[in-house]
Amino acid sequence: MEFVELIKTSRVDNVTLHTHIGKPVEVSLCVSSHHLILSARKEGVEELWILHQNIDAVERKPNGMVGGTIVVKCKDFRIIQLDLNSGYEKFVNVANSLEWLSTLDNMTLLYPFFYRPVYNMLEDGWSAFKTESEFSKLLVPGSNEEWRISYVNKNFTICRSYPSAVVVPKNIDDETLIAASKFRHGGRFPVLSYKHEGGSVLLRASQPLAGPGVKRCKEDEKLVNSVLGPGKKGYIVDTRSQSLAQSAKARGGGVEPEAHYPLWKRVQRPIDRQAVYLDSLSKLVDACNDVSCSIDKWMSRLESSSWLSHVKDSLNCACVVAQCIDQEGASVLLHGSEGLDSTLLVTSLCQIILNPDCRTVRGLEALVEREWLQAGHPFSLRHKKSCYSVGGSSVVPGGNKSGVIKGQQACTFLLFLDCVFQIHCQFPCSFEFNTHLLILLFEHSYSSQFGTFLGNCEADRERLELSKKTVSLWSHLNRPEVLPSLMNPMYEPNSKVIWPSVAPMSLILWRELFLRYSSALADGVSTRLKAASENTIHLNVKDKELRSKAAKLRRQLMELEKEAIEIGVLESPTSALLAESADATTGGTEEVAKNNSYP
Amino acid sequence: MLDRFNVKKSFVGVLYLTATHLIFVDPESKKETWILHMHILSAEKMPLTTMGSPLQIRCKTFLSVTFVLPKERDCQEIYTTLQQLSKPVQLEDLYCFDYTASTEEVQKHVGWNFFDLQAEFQRMRVPNDAWSLTLLNKDYELCDTYPRYLFVPAAASTTVLMGSSSFRSKGRLPVLSYLHTNKAAICRCSQPLSGFSARCMEDEQMLNCILKANPNSKFMYVVDTRPKINAMANRAAGKGYENENFYENIKFQFIGIENIHIMRNSLQKLLEACEQKGPTMNNFLSAIEASGWLRHIKAVLDTSNVIVQAVQEGVSVVVHCSDGWDRTAQVCSLASLFLDPFHRTLQGFQALIEREWLAFGHKFVDRCGFLAGDQKEVSPIFTQFLECVWQLTNQYPCTFQFNERFLLALHDHVQSCQFGTFIGNCEKDRLDLRLHERTYSLWGYIANHMNEYMNPLYAAEENTDVLVPNLAPQNIRFWRGMYCRFESGVHPREVMSDMLLALCDHSSSLEDHIRLLTKRIDSLKSKIDSKKKSGETKVEEKIEDCVDNKTSYDKEISEQDEDVFKDEKVNSLVTVEQLASELKSVAVEWKTLRNVRECNCSTPFDHFSRKCHCWRCGEVFCTRCIDKHTALPGHDSQRAVPVCRMCYKELRRTFSIDSA
């Protein structure tokens, strides 16, 4: 298939563009193979480039022979309206092109396969977070004996959604893993997700295929039990409700029969299924876009979207799991049904809470890589469509829905980012990154010039040869030109576990994300907020400079003092005082040394 | 007395009752809870339980606690005592008349003369051609709830003023509230006594004078901040609103801010929403919505915005509600805040409160329920004003010189009656009570704690324009910091603003220190240089006698130095001891505020207790432990800065050694 076939009209002039701010402007519209480009063709006026992949819904309102109006709704919540008046044919052509190009099924036609960066890559993001290197970081030295990397899945035959390398208990051989995989939905046998400093671990899996007759699998039991130390007990946390778990039994799924896992206590921590998230998001975004409604209406729409309830439930579940691990020192096996959504949501949040490493830029990248990409969250499937075209009130008239399987679209990853945002708000100094990084991750997970979020699992990514043919997002983010813009000026490393509050009044709407393209942040509100964060950076930089300057001057003064004493300009002090003054200087320099790790 | 404190988590401790406070001490965590009697909104005895007799106390600061007392008789006694102490019958029994600032280094008179209405209007270039001062109300004869000095259109004659006053409810005639640079004015008054058809020539002339005082507009707005139906109802009582047919060239507008009773109930519901036990997200949101509180806040902000837009277009506005001391005070003060950058500074904000709230007679005694009496008069009007300001600070993080803590402190001190500033319902009351002689002023206290209330992000150069906030419903937020203040655990664990404030203090300490270091280095350098010069000639001659000569060298050098640094005579004469003590007295590194759970005095910190750094040792203390201010030898400016008690003692000791 050639792009030419899909682009019948590549350029239309005199198009009126309406955005969320300012007055409508006259622009030229171009449809390229990967972008919709809107340009006012004037000096100093920025062009608007929208990736086709970012387009969620295209709505058309024909206006006789004159043309018509196209409303383009994007996955990053942007909505633009284009009035075309150069004839009906052009209008139809453009609308068709946008629909076709935004729903391409062939992944190799997507922009990441065509994008070539103009800068040199210092580090290849594709190999930055390999299981092997992460494995050694994940495990405290000395405990390596208990765990090993298994390549049992190297051809992706045991479990299609797992990566080729997984971390499992050392004393479990590959045969046992293979047997256990047959007992788990989609072959997702229990693997190590995180090991806490106390020694307790977090495992994740999918639901056991126990079925209504309470089948058992000795190998699975052996695998699960082997992680418990002598005399230790563990928790199996199920993210489904009791009824959902019960009904899963009828379909061959279900729960671990208690009789066969005697050391494990079952806990139900229901969070809603991923299928409802998108509906919820859709309602939320619609409410955010409507700035003219009354405040009561806004509040009730915010409430009925239930988005913040999902945030609260997810955080709550993560806190419970983290509590088991940190405070009771117990190990936890976590699963829902497929182990691709809520399971990953909770395991990754848990690590944000427990592991200070995950609160750094690289740590967050590694976490996303480990717990989302390698763990097989089906990004291409989940992010194929977003809130404007699936669920909610907006129905796409005549939209091309090929490849969209109902119930497979979700925004679990966005929910994860929102939860991280909430923790960030409560611990604004414990994160090395700022919340802008979270927004970037959100954007790139839906549409990007980078290949990182393409495909549904590692098997897909190997088949597509992404690491050869596309650039990794991590390569981009870790460049010295980009990295500083992601840094939190108030960061002070915090080695402790951070417990977020999940009280309703503690959770807030992520305005910077959800109101980004709503006029609520217009009138310079966002500019002023940016200015505030720049001020913060400025204050920090200034303080740092002053600190090093003071230390430098102190040293200089002491040297001069010594010199002065030597040549007799100053009276030489008594020995006691000399020691004291030496203390003062070394104290200063020591503190400066400490300061290097204290930005 | 063994008690349980708070239902969610209970503590056992001892309850003390003093003349001014109810104090609960939990011996285990050493946590002390001080409840000022004046802060108590209500004390309620709950039905007896197996644990004992519960006593629920709600405070005006939105603290709500339940004590369970083992003996019912004790409970009853405390209950009756609190009832009496929290609601004195006479103004003279209020806390401010007994309060003496023991720890504060403030004199009683400080603050009372900070703000002066005439000076405030002078700032707006009033009096001028169009507006003049009238002394008709010198003895509060024209209107006893207005200030003594009133500013009115120069063209308005005494007859007009008197006539207009008599046609307005409580005599509150239209007077100038704010004059913008474009000559558009905001005037405030109460409703006219128009009934169904009454009219008053003088009042009509009065409004015409106000219109004429602004040469740039052919018409002006009269804004009635009430809902239309309320205004209509008032007509039956002989009051009402201006008839557009009688007044020339006015555009009349109803806005619809609800009355004090609706506001009081709304706050009640809002607090209930906050107090739900283990609410779900949806319970909480729908309870907030049902309270209507945010709707009222938005209404006040919207109204202010309408007025501001009119003024910006060069049109004068006359604002009133019923009596013109609640809604009118809210919107007039907010409009000034929008228009005038001065009012967004710490000083200016206090001046604004002095003008629009205190001088123009917002009934603080009645609205805050200082005294036992009609609880129907109580209403959170001033709280709403503070919240509106807070909403604005969310959108303008660098434009306000003060921070959230300042707004909270204001709120609490208005309620506490510790200072005389907010006692009385109007200026006349305050004069009659001789408050400025008998009580402390809050402004004096605030002036002494300025650094706590600064917004570290404030950028004066950005604070120049008229505010144009975006009042979309999405931008009106629930103020957790105010209404859930004492729900420990729901707030951010790391408070950005406090961290930034500490950072700014730290920077300023270092800057000061660096100035001194630079001076010392310069002086030492020049000494060494001159020594080397003179040394080249002399040292060769008498190496052995070096020691003997030293004193003379020093003399010579210090003489030379005196020439070079004439203004730094003292600085150039440094000794090693002095240098050492200078270096020791300034902490380059300050301890991080994070994970500091308690002060040295083992008082635990909670969300709203301010953590302070000692500028000498860099350790973190609670405000009670860091009450000393002194100059540090390591600072160039020699200004007094906060230090902890230990460091204070040590500094005193070295000073005494030095002087000895």
B219 contacts B250 by C-beta, under 8 angstroms: yes
Which pLDDT belongs to residue B4? 55
Strand partners, B326: none
Structure letter (DSSP) for residue B509: H
Contact residues, chain A, for B527 at CB < 8 Å: 564, 569-570
Are B543 and B498 in contact by the 8 Å Cβ rule? The answer is: no
User: pLDDT grade, residue A139 (50/70/90)?
Assistant: low
Annotated binding site of B for substrate: 259-260, 321-327
Residue B36: closest CA among B44, B54, B24, B26: B24
User: Is residue A587 classed exposed, middle or buried when 0-12, 13-18 and 19+ CB atoms within 10 A define those classes?
Assistant: middle
The mean pLDDT of B581-594, rounded to a whole number, is 81
d(CA B177, CA A192): 69
Residue A448 is predicted with a pLDDT of 95
pLDDT > 50? residue B552: no
Amino acid identity, position B182: N
pLDDT in tens, A331-379: 999 999 999 999 999 999 999 999 999 999 999 999 999 999 999 999 9
Q: How many CB pairs under 8 A join A and B?
A: 237
Segment among A268-277, B264-273, B590-599, B602-611 with least mean pLDDT:
B602-611
Q: Tell me, what's the pLDDT at B596?
A: 75
Each residue of B384-420: pLDDT tens digit? 999 999 999 999 999 999 999 999 999 999 999 999 9
Distance between CA atoms of residues A197 and A139, nearest Å: 9
Residue contact B576–A565, C-beta within 8 A: yes
**CB distance B474–A518 less than 8 Å?**
yes
Model confidence at B567, pLDDT cuts 50, 70, 90, reads very low
Inter-chain CB proximity A581 and B279 less than 8 Å: no
Length of chain A: 599
Choose from A134-143, A585-594, B471-480 the range with maximum mean pLDDT. Answer: B471-480
pLDDT at B66: 86
Question: In the prediction, which pLDDT does A143 show?
Answer: 58
Cβ atoms of A446 and A90 closer than 8 Å: no
Q: Report the distance separating Cα B251 and Cα B242, nearest Å.
A: 10
What local confidence, expressed as pLDDT, does residue B442 receive? 93
Closest listed residue to residue A229, CA positions, set A350, A341, A145 = A145
Question: Residue A240's closest CA among A231, A229, A253?
Answer: A253
Q: What is the model's pTM?
A: 0.90
Backbone angles phi, psi at B314, to 5 degrees: 90, 15
Task: Return the residue of B nearest to A557 by Cα.
Answer: B521
The nearest CA of chain B is from the CA of A515 a distance in Å of 8
Question: What count of Cα atoms within 13 Å lies in the side-chain half-sphere of residue A358?
Answer: 25
d(CA B72, CA B51): 11
Reply yes or no on whether the pLDDT at B431 is more than 80.
yes
Mutate to test the interface with B, among A305, A419, A429, A519 (most CBs of B within 10 A): A429
Instruction: Report the relative pairing of strands A48-51 and A35-39 from DSSP bridges.
Output: antiparallel
- Closest-CA residue of A relative to B296 is A295
Q: Work out the minimum CA distance from A112 to partner chain B, whole angstroms.
A: 36
- In this prediction, residue B106 carries a pLDDT of 67
Partner residue opposite B457 with nearest CB, options A298, A524, A536 = A536
- A318-327, A565-574, B427-436: lowest mean pLDDT where? A565-574
Cis peptide before B127 (omega within 30 of 0): yes
Maximum CA pair distance of chain B?
111
Give the per-residue pLDDT at B629. 81
Taking CB atoms and an 8 Å limit, are A539 and B475 in contact across chains? Answer: no
Partners of residue A291 in chain B, C-beta under 8 Å = 472-474
Using H for helix, E for strand and C for coil, what is the string for A553-582? HHHHHHHHHHHHHHCCCCCCCCHHHHHHHH
A234, HSE (Cβ side, Cα atoms, 13 Å): 25
Q: Which helix (H) or strand (E) holds A147?
A: strand A147-150
CB B426 within 8 A of CB B364: no
Inter-residue contact A363 to A267 (CB < 8 Å): no
Per-residue pLDDT, B102: 63
What's B554's DSSP letter? Answer: H
Residues of B in contact with A527 (CB under 8 A): none
Q: Supply the pLDDT for residue B52.
A: 84
Q: What is the pLDDT of residue A598?
A: 34
Contact across the interface for B473 and A294, Cβ inside 8 Å: yes
Q: Do B514 and A298 touch (CB under 8 A)?
A: no
| Selected residue with higher pLDDT from A175 and B448 | A175
Please report residues of A whose CB lies closer than 8 A to that of B575.
Answer: 570-571, 573
- Give dist(CA B155, CA B137) in Å, integer: 17
- When pLDDT is averaged across residues A572-583 and rounded to a whole number, the result is 47
Per-residue DSSP letters for A276-334? HHHHHHHHHHHHHH-TTS-HHHHHHHHHHH-HHHHHHHHHHHHHHHHHHHHTS--EEEE
Query: Average pLDDT, stretch A270-296?
Result: 91
Tokens representing residue A410 in the block: 């979700």
- Continuous H helices in B427-545: 427-432, 435-438, 442-448, 480-483, 496-538
* HSE toward the beta carbon, residue B172, CA cutoff 13 A: 29
- Token digits for A531? 């200015």
More confident residue, B9 or A295: A295
* Calpha distance B460→B469 (Å, rounded): 18
Do the strands B185-189 and B175-179 form a parallel or antiparallel pair, or are they unpaired? Answer: antiparallel
Confidence of residue A593 (pLDDT cuts 50, 70, 90): very low
Location of structure tokens 């099924």: A105
Residues of B with a known catalytic role:
321
Q: Assign B87 a pLDDT band (cuts: 50, 70, 90).
A: confident
User: Quick one: average pLDDT of B377-389?
Assistant: 96
Q: What is the pLDDT of residue A215?
A: 84
Q: What are A505-555's pLDDT values in tens digits? A: 999 999 999 998 888 787 788 888 888 888 888 898 898 999 899 889 888
Amino acid at B41: L
Residues contacting A267, CB < 8 A, separation 6+: A235, A236, A237, A238, A320
Tell me: pLDDT of B551 over 60.
no
Dump pLDDT digits (tens) for A236-264: 999 999 889 889 988 888 899 888 899 99
B residues 10-39 closer than 8 Å to A (CB)? none
- CA of A294: how far to CAs of A298, B223, B292, B294, B623, in Å? 6, 22, 11, 11, 43
Name the residue among B101, B1, B5, B96 with its Cα closest to residue B439: B96
pLDDT (tens digit per residue) in B176-221: 999 999 999 999 999 999 998 899 999 999 999 999 999 999 999 9
- pLDDT above 50 (res B559): no
AA letter at A505: M
pLDDT of residue A33: 92
pLDDT number for residue B621: 85
**Alpha-carbon distance B409 to nearest alpha carbon in chain A (angstroms):** 22
Q: Which of B45, B47, B12 is nearest to B31 (CA)?
A: B12
Q: How far is B594 from chain A (nearest CA, A)?
A: 9
What is the average pLDDT score of chain B? Answer: 86
Closest partner residue to A546 among B286, B514, B521, by Cβ? B514
CA distance B87 to chain A (A): 32
Which of A299, A557, A569 is facing B285, going by the closest CB pair?
A: A299
User: Which tokens hold the place of B283?
Assistant: 């319970």
Distance of CA B343 to the CA centre of its chain: 12
